Chains A and B, each alone.
Chain A
Amino acid sequence: MALLEIKDLHAKVGDREILKGISLTINPGEVHAIMGPNGSGKSTLAQVLAGRELYVVTGGEVIYQGKDLLAMSPEDRAREGIFLAFQYPVEIPGVSNMYFLKAALNTIRKHQGQEELDAIDFLNLVREKMKLMEMDQALLNRPVNTGFSGGEKKRNEIFQMAVLEPKLAILDETDSGLDIDALRAVAGGVNALRSPERSMIVVTHYQRLLNYIVPDFVHVLSQGRIVKSGGKELALELEESGYAGLGIEDDEEVATV
């Protein structure tokens, strides 16, 4: 059975329709890259799947693990295993990263009928995952994303993903703003999390990230529709000829986040 089935999905922000009929099927273990120029609807798709209320679904349906995803609250989606790595991770002053993550993990574990982790087990888990991400332990005790550099924020997202072990991870422009070393570290973390039980949607503007995270499928989005799908070679083709080579111009309207 497919993990996620998106059927003719339409969504708008305010009066503006951004997604104009997206259909996509993702099976367990698959990594799908969503590419496209600015304003094509990539980030909107990521946010709609996570349940952002700013975006209103106007048509179509999304089935996740056999359930109607669109009827679920954002927190329930998260508890059912959907993780969004934010393009712009949000700062939460005063709340330590550690406390935040423990609250998140235990809420999800509880929902899934698992026992909550105590402080010691949690710390052990966290230490293990930090090694994976080559993260500075000091970041754990700092407030969530507060005062983090761009690279630290993105690493922190993937680190959270490593701890929360989602079934479907959506990476929204995780490569934006990263230098090559940070990109490598983040991609290394993501690759380590690839497994037959975990699917990923990798949203990116550039092919560069896909040299490190090699997708099973690539979809090109333009003006709210998937205009072309293919294997990983499609990304390389795009690299060579650009979006213009596919006859796609930068879409005029830039999606607001």
Chain B
Amino acid sequence: MSDSTNTIETFANQEYKWGFVTDIESESIPRGLSEDVIRLISAKKQEPDWLLEWRLKAYRHWLTMTEPTWANIHYPKIDYNDIIYYAAPKKKGDGPKSLDDVDPELLKTYEKLGIPLQERAILAGVAVDAVFDSVSVATTFKAKLADMGIIFGSFSEAVREHPDLVRKYLGSVVPTSDNFFAALNSAVFSDGSFCYVPKGVRCPMELSTYFRINAKDTGQFERTLIVADEGAYVSYLEGCTAPMRDTNQLHAAVVELVALDNAQIKYSTVQNWYPGDKEGKGGIYNFVTKRGACRGVNSKISWTQVETGSAITWKYPSCLLIGDNSVGEFYSVALTNNWQQADTGTKMIHIGKNTTSTIVSKGISAGHGQNTYRGGVKILKSATGARNYSQCDSLLLGDKCGAHTFPYLEVKNTSSQVEHEASTSKIGEDQIFYCRQRGISTEDAVSMIVHGFCKEVFRELPMEFAVEAQKLLGVSLEGSVG
């Protein structure tokens, strides 16, 4: 092959920069899963009985389930008894009361990751909740948010301080029996973030959670629950990284969103879990269930995701459009390189009248990467006047990768409209040569083409994230016109 093809590959093969391990004493429980382990986790977190029961119910149901095999992904069988289900940085006493109590090693880790936990360092107006292995270590800007009635913090804390809210909404969008990984998460979830925005309040800053898996052989099972009450608005960002390790690690999270009348939730993810090395060794298995319920009229939930990491991604952020005129959106960029596999997409379930959904999915495959879009649009009989627009584009770099598209459409009434567009293109040697003949280097040409391909999705990201996402794809915004 020609040089320019090689350069495309070199360019696509930039090293993972977030692979360091933090040397911190951690406390974990023995490997394996049993009712005793669940009781132990629950006890460590001093949970109320109802939550322990909820977990056990999920666990008992999980035992009856089998791992799904319908996705277009391939991996060796996971031994669920060889995973550590709980790991926490060791702390003195009852845990950090403020940032001053947090282990400085931890703060250094987040600093390396570019997450400004120190409130005074935050200029961007992003409130951060950071989850390290299994526990939430710090939440910034909490007091300021509390003044407006916004509750934002770790899940465990919410269970202690706002049990009624948690109990009311937990599992109401993703039931414990929903699927294999959601059931597992419900049984063993250790922490996560909780957010409640009260009636009529517009959250003035981006809320952010940063997830990091540090400990070896540990699974991370966090749970996020966001509730926007009537007329509320919140924009939420989620970022993730992990050290480089040569064994696979499991990440099975559940995210539930609830939007009541006229409420809006915007949920953005930049997922950069360790993808494994060039030979496909190691990396995170990212098996995540994300779903939002537009319960109220005129409510809106928008998912935007940039997925560049993980050895395997299995993830379908979805919307239940229950309230009349409610709106669901899904914007996604998924990059698979080397031996990464991604089976990702969305489900839009139209239940209420005049509900609308938009799906824009951009898959980029390089190296031996396999990228699958799987999307379901279901329009029930009750959803008269519903509309959906889907667009799925795939971009191939090189000739060893693959792109696959599986759209499922199910329409049960005659007044609805569904549109689906799909395309597959390749960065060709001729395109690169054309750019080079105009003085543009191969690297810049690839950036330009990839950026152009992802533009519609990047536009949906909050500014700070858009920048990070572009950096991740090796793309520069500089001089962008049109």
Interface on A for B, CB 8 Å cutoff? Answer: 50-54, 73-75, 77-79, 83-84, 86, 89-96, 98-104, 106-108, 111, 119, 141, 143, 160, 164
A95 touches B448 (CB 8 A): yes
A93:B482 contact, CB within 8 angstroms: no
Contact across chains for A94 and B455 when beta carbons are under 8 A apart: yes
Q: Verify B431–A78 contact, CB threshold 8 A.
A: no
Known: A53-B4, A100-B448. A78 touches B481 (CB 8 A): no
Residues of A contacting B455 in the complex (Cβ-Cβ under 8 angstroms): 94
Whether A75 pairs with B430 at a CB distance below 8 angstroms is no
Task: Knowing A54-B2, A92-B434, A98-B481 are in contact, say whether A75-B452 is a contact too (CB < 8 A).
Answer: no
Known: A93-B452, A99-B480. A164 touches B425 (CB 8 A): no
Question: Shortest distance in angstroms between A5's beta carbon and chain B's nearest beta carbon?
Answer: 21
Per the bound structure, the CA–CA distance linking A83 and B437 in Å amounts to 7
Q: 10 closest pairs, A vs B, by CB?
A: A94-B452, A104-B438, A90-B434, A95-B452, A78-B439, A74-B436, A96-B482, A107-B439, A53-B2, A75-B436
A-B contact pairs, 12 of them (CB 8 A): A53-B4, A75-B441, A94-B449, A95-B452, A99-B481, A100-B435, A100-B438, A103-B440, A104-B435, A107-B438, A107-B441, A164-B439
CB distance from B5 to the nearest CB of A (A): 9
| Residue ID in chain A nearest B480 by CB atoms | A99
**Which residue of chain B is the closest to A75 with respect to CB atoms?**
B436
Min distance, Cβ A148 to any Cβ of chain B, angstroms: 13
A94 to B482 CA separation, bound complex (whole angstroms): 10
| List of A residues within 8 angstroms of B425 by Cβ | 93
Measured between C-beta atoms, what is the minimum distance from A157 to chain B in Å?
A: 10
With contacts A93-B452, A95-B452 taken as known, whether A106 is within 8 angstroms of B436 at the C-beta atoms is: no
A50 to B430, CA, bound (A): 13
Do A98 and B438 touch (CB < 8 A)? Answer: no
B438 to chain A, nearest CB (A): 4
- A71: min CB distance to chain B, Å: 14
Q: In the complex, which of the residues A89, A93, A101 has the most CB atoms of chain B within 10 Å of its own CB atom?
A: A93
Report B428 CB to chain A, min CB distance, Å. 8
Report yes or no: B436 in contact with A78, Cβ–Cβ below 8 A: yes
- For the complex, give the distance between the alpha carbons of A83 and B438 in Å: 7
With A90-B430, A99-B482: A143-B438 Cβ-Cβ less than 8 Å: no
B36 at the interface (CB under 8 A from A): no
Q: Known: A74-B433, A92-B431. Contact between A107 and B440, CB under 8 A? A: yes
Contacts of A73 in B (CB 8 A): 436
B431 CB contacts on chain A under 8 angstroms: 90-92
Q: Please determine whether A52 and B481 come into contact, CB atoms closer than 8 angstroms.
A: no
B437 x A78 contact (CB < 8 A): yes
A79, B433: Cα distance in complex, Å: 14
Whose C-beta in chain A lies nearest to the C-beta of B434?
A: A90
**Given A75-B439, A164-B438, are A53 and B482 also a contact pair (CB < 8 Å)?**
no
Q: Are B439 and A96 in contact (CB under 8 A)?
A: no
Residues of B within 8 A of A102 (CB): 479, 481
Q: Would you call B439 and A104 a contact (CB within 8 A)?
A: yes
Residues of A within 8 A of B435 (CB): 92, 100, 104
Partner of B453, one of A52, A79, A94, A141: A94
Give the residue name and chain of the A residue nearest to B428 (CB): A90
Majority secondary structure of chain A interface residues (helix, strand, loop or mixed): helix
B474 to chain A, nearest CB (A): 15
Residues of chain A contacted by B448 (CB below 8 angstroms): 92, 95, 99-100, 103
Bound Cα distance from A52 to B481, whole angstroms:
29
B451: chain A residues at CB < 8 Å are: 94-95
Q: In the complex, how many angstroms separate the beta carbon of B437 from the nearest chain A beta carbon?
A: 5
Centre residue among B4, B429, B430 by max chain A CB count within 10 A: B430
Task: Say which residue of A86, A99, A108, A119 sits within 8 Å of B439 (CB atoms).
Answer: A108
Q: For residue B433, which residues in chain A have a CB less than 8 angstroms away from its CB?
A: 52-53, 74, 90
- The docked-state distance in angstroms from the alpha carbon of A72 to that of B3 is 14
CB distance from A116 to the nearest CB of B (A): 8
Q: Give the residue name and chain of the B residue nearest to A90 (CB).
A: B434
Partner of A98, one of B442, B452, B482: B482
Most buried by B among A52, A74, A91: A74
Query: Separation in Å of the A178 CB from the closest CB of chain B?
Result: 20
Residues of A within 8 A of B434 (CB): 86, 89-90, 92
Q: Which residue of B lies closest to A118 (CB)?
A: B479
Residues in B neighbouring A79, C-beta threshold 8 A? 439
Instruction: Add 11 more A-B contacts to A90-B430, A95-B449, A104-B439 (CB < 8 A).
Output: A50-B437, A52-B433, A54-B2, A78-B437, A90-B428, A95-B448, A96-B482, A99-B481, A100-B435, A107-B440, A164-B439
Within 8 A of A (CB), among B430-482: 430-431, 433-442, 444, 448-449, 451-453, 455, 479-482
Q: How far is the CB of A57 from chain B (nearest CB, A)?
A: 14
Question: Contacts A74-B437, A75-B436, A75-B440: A103 and B479 contacting too (C-beta < 8 A)?
Answer: yes
Cβ-closest chain B residue relative to A97: B482
Roughly how many angstroms separate A143 CA and B442 CA in the complex, as a whole number? 19
Bound CA span A86–B455, Å: 27
Interchain CB contact under 8 A, A78 and B438 = yes
Q: Which residues of A contact B439 (CB under 8 A)?
A: 75, 78-79, 104, 107-108, 111, 164
A54: chain B residues within 8 A (beta carbon): 2, 429
CB 8 Å contact bits of B1-34 with A (1 = contact, 0 = none): 0111000000000000000000000000000000
CA A52 – CA B435 in complex, angstroms?
Answer: 12
- Taken together as a complex, chains A and B put the C-alpha atoms of A108 and B436 apart, in Å, by 11
Within 8 A of A (CB), among B138-182: none
A197–B385 CA distance with the chains assembled, in angstroms: 65
How many Å lie between the Cα of A101 and that of B437 in the bound state? 12
- In whole Å, how far is A79's beta carbon from the nearest beta carbon of chain B? 5
Residues of B within 8 A of A108 (CB): 439
Which residues on the B side are within 8 Å of A143 (C-beta)? 452
Report Cα–Cα, A96/B452, bound state, in Å: 8
Q: Give CA–CA (A107, B441) in the complex, Å.
A: 9
In the assembled complex, which residues on chain A have CB atoms less than 8 Å from the CB atom of B479? 99, 102-103, 106
